[in-house]
Amino acid sequence: MEQKKPLLEIQQLEISFGRGAGVTRVVTDVSFSLGEGEILCVVGESGSGKSVTALSILGLLGGTGRATGGKILYQGRDLLAMSPRELDGIRGPEIGMIFQDIMYSLNPVIPIGRQMTEGMERHLGISRREAEEKAIRLLERTGIRDAAGAMKKYPHMLSGGMRQRVMIAMTLACEPKLLIADEPTTALDVTIQMQIMELLRDLQKETGMAILLITHDLGVVAEIADRVVVMYAGQCVEEAPVHELLTHPAHAYTQALIHALPGLRDSRERRLYSIPGTVPEVYGDIPGCRFAERCPLAAGCTRRKQAEMIQIGEGHYSRCAEGEVKEA
């Protein structure tokens, strides 16, 4: 697969929370890039550092969270070195974000229409009338039939699927080059999840924007991704084009995730594979492979000597290539 021109490059990112003696590193040595017009999926269990990595791109860690190392380059400019004012010029017009919790992403006391037009007036410099007309077109584009009626409603008056479509329309309003979608189908039923993912894929083809999709659903990954980054315990453990990763996973954690997927052709007797143990709560100082305590291949492997990402094929990188995990 031809590597596209990098739009976003994350280089050896480290993220910490806390102050003084209470500092905890939650992300270490995370590096990956996203090309123009590409869809990159970041997958892993809850607690692996996916959402924190995504939030750090726009400086949205809040509280005591901060990037304590590395670079986040957008079109060659380091976002971590920008002032809050400079970042405000990036958020929206250049990089849009769909947050995980739909209900709390929209202001409950402001009508949908005003929430959509405010950002367009500010970033695009257009009149309210022009912004309203564009908002209606965007809502229709995302599949909301009575767009003019939806503009007058408050978030609680819409279904979860409609609220998510509103969020997508709001994010697209300023025509960003990069869309970050953090678990955009959380709490939606399976049918609506499929519709939202198809909508994102169609909009990406139509607009040419790049998408960084955070998810734990490998089924979604198989349908939408160009490339995949697998994260575990605050690190990238594998990166590859989607077909290569799903057919030839190298890291034991990636193999375990794939084995845990149910299949349409599974026999009724097949028991779903379950990864033993849980993601460690504190992992910043674990030497070598952070998956070792849960890994069926750990005995006798070289995990204590090799904890770096190594290239094992064209566009395929892994922190482990010890063997193959078999289903129980």
**For residues 319 and 15, what is the distance between their CA atoms, to the nearest angstrom?**
20
Query: Over the range 150-180, which residues count as b (16 or more CB within 10 Å of their CB) and which as e?
Result: bbeeebeebebbbbbbbbbbbbbbbebbbbb
- How does DSSP classify residue 164? H
6-94+176-318: which CATH topology?
A: Rossmann fold (3.40.50)
**56-114 tens-digit pLDDT:** 999 999 888 999 999 999 999 999 999 989 998 899 889 999 988 776 788 999 999 99
Q: What is the pTM of this model?
A: 0.89
Burial class of residue 230 (count of CB atoms within 10 Å of its CB; 0-12, 13-18, 19+) = buried
**CA dist list (Å): 201 to 96, 148, 287:** 16, 25, 39
Residue 12: CB atoms within 10 Å: 11
pLDDT band at 219 (very low <50, low <70, confident <90, very high): confident
DSSP-derived 3-state class of residue 41 = strand
- Give the residue-averaged pLDDT of 223-228: 94
Which H helix or E strand runs over 17? strand 6-17
Domain ranges of the chain: 6-94+176-318
